Amino acid sequence: MTVPLERVLRAFLDEPTAPRYGYDLMKAASLQSGTLYPLLARLEQQKLVASAWETPQQEGQRPRKYYRLTGEGIRVARLELARSSRQERTPGRPGRLAPGSLG
Amino acid sequence: MRKPGLRGERALLRIGEYLVGCACRRLPRGTGKDRYREWVAELPAILHDPEIRFAPYRAVRMLGYAADTLRGAARTSGRTRHRPPAPLALLLGVLFAAGLALVAWDIRTAVRAPGHWPNYLYLTWSLFLAAWPLGQYAWSTARMTRLLFFGGLLAGMVVNIWTAVQAPANWVNYLVAACYFSVVLLLLWLMRRFGRRHGLSVRPGSTR
């Protein structure tokens, strides 16, 4: 698992069911937009993240897009982060990704 | 949308929107419009971020966000290059060959008469003519080369008129000008036809 992906998953897991918008995630994960959005697109493609448009509160306001982890996303994120933590604790073994993991 | 509270905020937002627009032109047709809506909607939020007290830093951050979407779009799409359909590719190839031939001819003319300034204008125009077909293969450069190309066409027209005015008795000038205008009109017609059919001229805000 890459460091940016780990940061995004951790940001999501701070409040797993809460919808988060892009800029919010950028700040939480300390990532630039050019790194974050391709990651989100990939997670969405894998159905680990779902997105929705907000309803504008004021007339003329542009709706923002929110992201949240799906049920499967929460499960996979927790699993991957736990695996990553285990690998960090055993520095002698190089981290190898399991087939079908987030990579 | 919140009313801009700082001077120059609208201009900043426009710059941000322009950068996001450039990024979205790199994306495939289906996602470009969606991404544009999403990314542009974040710009005012960054400019009004209550967690950042220093306004110039908010502006820099917003512009940084917008500029970095260019990188993000390239990574998201997995393709920054666009391959036109076969008939258009053929037309572009012919244009490119014609452009190269014109460049060679204009270099020769400019070398023979270095003091005659319209030769340099002709050379510039032929360079644009050669560059434009290449630009069509990359979404990121298509708009700029299109602008340059049409700018070059207009410049060519001005030079032709100027040359004809300088020597009104010389019928060759009128023949060259007539040929030039015919070629320009033919090119415009072909581009309009192929561009519409194959959807080459697209803006990020359009329903492409």
- 3-state secondary structure (DSSP) of residue A39: helix
Q: How many helices (H) and strands (E) does chain B have?
A: 7, 0
* CB-based contact A37 B76, cutoff 8 Å: yes
Chain A neighbours among B 52-81 (CB < 8 Å)? 64-66, 68-72, 75-76
**How confident is the prediction for chain B on average, in pLDDT?**
75
Asked if A63 reaches chain B (Cβ–Cβ under 8 Å), the answer is yes
pLDDT tens for residues B74-93?
Answer: 776 554 445 556 777 777 78
ipTM for the whole complex: 0.82
Evaluate if pTM is beyond 0.90. no
Residue to test with chain B: of A33, A36, A39, most B Cβ within 10 A:
A33
H or E element: which one contains A3? helix A3-14
pLDDT tens for residues A37-65?
Answer: 999 989 998 999 999 998 877 777 888 99
User: Looking at residues B171-193, what average pLDDT do you find?
Assistant: 77
Amino acid at B106: D
* CB-based contact A64 B49, cutoff 8 Å: no
Asked if A45 reaches chain B (Cβ–Cβ under 8 Å), the answer is no
- Contact list in A for residue B50 (CB cut-off 8 A) is none
| Distance between A24 CA and the closest CA of chain B, angstroms | 10
Asked if A21 reaches chain B (Cβ–Cβ under 8 Å), the answer is yes
Alpha-carbon span B39 to B63, nearest angstrom? 12
Would you place residue B127 in the very low, low, confident or very high pLDDT band (cuts 50, 70, 90)?
confident
Alpha-carbon span B122 to B112, nearest angstrom? 14
- Residue A25: name the closest of A39, A42, A11, A46 by CA: A11
Would you place residue B157 in the very low, low, confident or very high pLDDT band (cuts 50, 70, 90)?
confident
